[in-house]
A and B are shown apart, each in its own frame.
Chain A
């Protein structure tokens, strides 16, 4: 499929997340190389269907869009968390990457990053096969804090939460990307140490904290 068509499918996916997707959305889209004619092609090819002014995805289209969105958002995570690429460039590279990453590569990236659930912008990353099986064949570099061994240290990679308040609170305790954290115990509650402060946390919060494992051995 052509790159431009793929982008329309992605727009359709994002439209579905927002609750509405119309022909106008395609026309208004920032990329002027996307012509409305391509939309008709996609409808003809059975990827999209139109009812009233709303355009929606067919099962086939949804499958394709899910794959693309997943690749895009996982790439964003990869660029931000592991490769430290600036947010401005991140988007640009992710747009390029998504079109040629095969499923196998995407699943590998997903596993390596600890099966993240949200992209850096806070959008949902559609789960793939690897997330269901929780494949661990490739050692994850970034894992949720729940998978850290008791007594070990790790650097915080990112915190996934939509609640600004929770984020602000964690920040005030020094639980921020880049900080080193020591996991003291997980039962009866999680207790971590950041700097000289011991903090008890709910499992719900701990699940949103992703850490980058320290390289073991030389």
Chain B
């Protein structure tokens, strides 16, 4: 168990309880979820990384208490898919208790949300997390007074150090035990709005109450439902996008609509804005009562690093230095030292000879023996490759990525590249999936969900599929290229970047839809927690291996089958005109390309073998590598594209990429021939 529970309180049978963790982005909901359930969800210092709702059994309650981790929200008027997901959980599911997790440094933003949570009528408590950071800024919050104003328990925590978690569990426990007592009084702590809005709320509440029909959100207050109806900005044709309304007849919908319209006419600004203003004022009013600054704001190391890493001038050398360190760590330590040790020593000297020895002794049939230990053998090729070459590279990359993520560097990288990404219809936010793609494109394709619009998701998926090599591929490719010259590496890299830019530029024009605003919270730089980094790396590597090894085995078996039946020779002949003619490559490369359809690194490894045998000259290495880098990364990534983007988009991307890869490879060969070769 990665997370050890400091406190366990056994609850007696309380029946089914649902607790929702709700809060602004990047305040530590996932950490607290981990502490409450013992279940690890990816935690990072990057706003909006929780894209999926995770449910887990509470550790402190052996009976059925379910804890729900929700994507971070800034308010209950949804502005994005994530926010809608969270709002809908509160509206549709019978949530018994809300734990609002907040950043103690940003009390006013937390209270802005708090006021809205209070309006739902669901009992809640407020957790002021990251108390240590608030303290270091000299922020002092009068907890007793805040608790009194809000009428709910307020708990201070430092979740990553498990401080205050015991108190939180006790609060939840008490609340669930006396459910009726802790329901906040509907009228005590809420903001009151302009009289005309209040009138509309009353009118709507009355309408909702008198309406028969199924109540979809029995736990939320009528006032909250009325407010949701007033602030909803969605097209009114199907009524508002609120469950309570959908069950109402056409008559009620039109009445709701007319109240909404009537009220809207009274104000020059959108209603949501007027209501939010009031909430914000109320939040600020509370902050003024309970928060004081003690001592001055000291410029800390974290502040300094936070600034300098996105400085227009110093940011660039820092970025280059980080890339260099990344290369040293992943490329040199991981891909050279560790791979060398595992491949030559562990597999080369021990496992492979042992397996060959065993198979020669116990498997009499050559065909089956070859299946395990032949040149395309399961153990000698698939497992040796998967564990000896891929594992060290992937593990070192994810470790380094985890450090970048948790230190808070990635959002700063987003600031650095935003303008560049703007040129191709993306914005800085796309940096997270694209960098993660250097680890694993399949995982990165899943993470494109953090992007707000569909267009951005498609564009990023396309780029990942087209030209972002995952760490396994990078490892093999760099090994191949470093054998030739720096010139070759630059040529490969340059062509890759140019192709990606051109494709993104035109795809931006072709794909319809909007790009989102770049409006992103930049969290403070933090010292990464080594425990979190390790568990995150472990979770990612495990995921990767689970996804990767079966495909290796399948791919190897496939190739073995082709080789044995003679189909490989036939396909090689079929593609010979293109491979040898246009691209100027030996026909053996066809096999590598074929396997590249399953995993491009596997294909690259095939090229590596050919190069080792002296079958490829430098120009052929560059041409074949460019071609295979542009291939779709792997079969798993294709399946993920289908899952995330749908069949149509996935097939279109694939149908676009393979011919493009062959075309670019042929062109590069042609041009190199014209200028006299590499």
Residue of A176, A188, A191, A204 with most chain B CB atoms under a 10 A cut-off = A188
A171 within 8 Å of B (CB atoms): yes
Tell me whether A171 and B310 are in contact in the complex, defined as CB-CB below 8 angstroms, given that A120-B268, A200-B428 are known contacts: no
Task: Kindly state the separation between the CA atoms of A188 and B522 in the bound complex, as whole angstroms.
Answer: 14
CB distance from B218 to the nearest CB of A (A): 27
Task: Kindly state the separation between the CA atoms of A187 and B108 in the bound complex, as whole angstroms.
Answer: 28
Task: Kindly state the separation between the CA atoms of A195 and B75 in the bound complex, as whole angstroms.
Answer: 17
Residue from the list B75, B277, B307, B415 in contact with A200, Cβ < 8 A: B415
Residue from the list A87, A172, A176 in contact with B75, Cβ < 8 A: A172
Q: Please indicate the chain B residues that have their CB under 8 angstroms from the CB of A87 in the complex.
A: 268
CB distance from B523 to the nearest CB of A (A): 8
A189 within 8 Å of B (CB atoms): yes
Binds A, one of B49-57, B488-496, B512-520, B625-633: B512-520
Q: Please indicate the chain B residues that have their CB under 8 angstroms from the CB of A166 in the complex.
A: 517, 519
> Which A residues from 185 to 206 make CB contacts under 8 A with B?
185, 187-189, 191, 195-202, 204-205
Contact across chains for A191 and B105 when beta carbons are under 8 A apart: no
Nearest 6 A/B pairs, CB to CB: A172-B74, A187-B312, A198-B522, A196-B105, A202-B518, A189-B418
> Which A residues from 116 to 155 make CB contacts under 8 A with B?
120-122
Tell me whether A205 and B519 are in contact in the complex, defined as CB-CB below 8 angstroms, given that A164-B233, A172-B75 are known contacts: yes
> Which B residues from 271 to 307 make CB contacts under 8 A with A?
272-273, 276-277, 280, 306-307
Residue from the list A120, A167, A168, A189 in contact with B415, Cβ < 8 A: A189
Contact across chains for A199 and B517 when beta carbons are under 8 A apart: no
CB distance from B227 to the nearest CB of A (A): 14
Contact across chains for A164 and B109 when beta carbons are under 8 A apart: no
Task: Kindly state the separation between the CA atoms of A71 and B524 in the bound complex, as whole angstroms.
Answer: 46
B549 within 8 Å of A (CB atoms): no
A59-94 interface code vs B (CB 8 A; 1 in, 0 out): 000000000000000000000000000010000000
Residue from the list A167, A188, A196 in contact with B273, Cβ < 8 A: A167
Q: Please indicate the chain A residues that have their CB under 8 angstroms from the CB of B311 in the complex.
A: 185
Contact across chains for A195 and B307 when beta carbons are under 8 A apart: no
Contact across chains for B418 and A188 when beta carbons are under 8 A apart: yes
Q: Please indicate the chain B residues that have their CB under 8 angstroms from the CB of A199 in the complex.
A: 519-522
Contact across chains for A184 and B268 when beta carbons are under 8 A apart: no
Task: Kindly state the separation between the CA atoms of A43 and B109 in the bound complex, as whole angstroms.
Answer: 57
Tell me whether A168 and B77 are in contact in the complex, defined as CB-CB below 8 angstroms, given that A188-B419, A196-B137 are known contacts: yes
Contact across chains for A173 and B109 when beta carbons are under 8 A apart: yes
A170 within 8 Å of B (CB atoms): yes
Count of B interface residues, CB-CB < 8 Å? 44
B106 within 8 Å of A (CB atoms): yes
Residue of B79, B139, B277 with most chain A CB atoms under a 10 A cut-off = B79
A216 within 8 Å of B (CB atoms): no
Residue of B nearest to A184 (CB): B307
Q: Please indicate the chain B residues that have their CB under 8 angstroms from the CB of A15 in the complex.
A: none
B510-540 interface code vs A (CB 8 A; 1 in, 0 out): 0000000111111110000000000000000
Contact across chains for A168 and B75 when beta carbons are under 8 A apart: yes
Residue of A nearest to B268 (CB): A121
Task: Kindly state the separation between the CA atoms of A165 and B81 in the bound complex, as whole angstroms.
Answer: 12
Contact across chains for B79 and A173 when beta carbons are under 8 A apart: no
> Which B residues from 412 to 427 make CB contacts under 8 A with A?
414-419, 422, 427
Residue of A nearest to B427 (CB): A202
CB distance from A122 to the nearest CB of B (A): 8
Q: Please indicate the chain B residues that have their CB under 8 angstroms from the CB of A184 in the complex.
A: 307
Residue of A nearest to B270 (CB): A164
CB distance from B126 to the nearest CB of A (A): 17
Contact across chains for A188 and B312 when beta carbons are under 8 A apart: yes
Contact across chains for A202 and B519 when beta carbons are under 8 A apart: yes
B411 within 8 Å of A (CB atoms): yes
Task: Kindly state the separation between the CA atoms of A169 and B75 in the bound complex, as whole angstroms.
Answer: 9
Task: Kindly state the separation between the CA atoms of A188 and B280 in the bound complex, as whole angstroms.
Answer: 30
Task: Kindly state the separation between the CA atoms of A122 and B267 in the bound complex, as whole angstroms.
Answer: 12
> Which B residues from 130 to 169 make CB contacts under 8 A with A?
137, 139
B209-228 interface code vs A (CB 8 A; 1 in, 0 out): 00000000000000000000
B40 within 8 Å of A (CB atoms): no
Residue from the list A170, A188, A195 in contact with B519, Cβ < 8 A: A170
Q: Please indicate the chain B residues that have their CB under 8 angstroms from the CB of A176 in the complex.
A: 276-277, 280
Tell me whether A200 and B105 are in contact in the complex, defined as CB-CB below 8 angstroms, given that A87-B268, A189-B419, A189-B428 are known contacts: no
Contact across chains for B521 and A173 when beta carbons are under 8 A apart: yes
Q: Please indicate the chain B residues that have their CB under 8 angstroms from the CB of A173 in the complex.
A: 74, 109, 519, 521
Residue from the list B103, B139, B310, B523 in contact with A185, Cβ < 8 A: B310
Residue from the list A165, A197, A204 in contact with B521, Cβ < 8 A: A197
Residue of B nearest to A175 (CB): B519
B315 within 8 Å of A (CB atoms): yes
Known: A188-B419, A200-B418, A202-B427. 20 other contacts (CB 8 A): A164-B270, A165-B233, A168-B75, A168-B276, A169-B517, A169-B519, A188-B310, A188-B312, A189-B415, A189-B419, A189-B428, A195-B106, A196-B139, A197-B106, A199-B522, A200-B414, A200-B415, A200-B428, A202-B418, A202-B518
Contact across chains for B307 and A202 when beta carbons are under 8 A apart: no
> Which B residues from 300 to 332 make CB contacts under 8 A with A?
306-307, 310-312, 315
Contact across chains for B272 and A191 when beta carbons are under 8 A apart: no
Residue of A nearest to B233 (CB): A164
Residue of A nearest to B522 (CB): A198
Q: Please indicate the chain B residues that have their CB under 8 angstroms from the CB of A174 in the complex.
A: 108-109, 112, 280
Q: Offer 23 A-B interface pairs, CB within 8 angstroms, sorted by A.
A: A165-B233, A166-B517, A167-B270, A168-B75, A168-B77, A172-B109, A173-B74, A174-B112, A174-B280, A184-B307, A185-B311, A185-B312, A188-B416, A188-B417, A191-B310, A196-B139, A197-B109, A200-B415, A200-B418, A200-B519, A200-B522, A204-B517, A205-B519
Task: Kindly state the separation between the CA atoms of A195 and B111 in the bound complex, as whole angstroms.
Answer: 13
Q: Please indicate the chain B residues that have their CB under 8 angstroms from the CB of A195 in the complex.
A: 106, 108-109
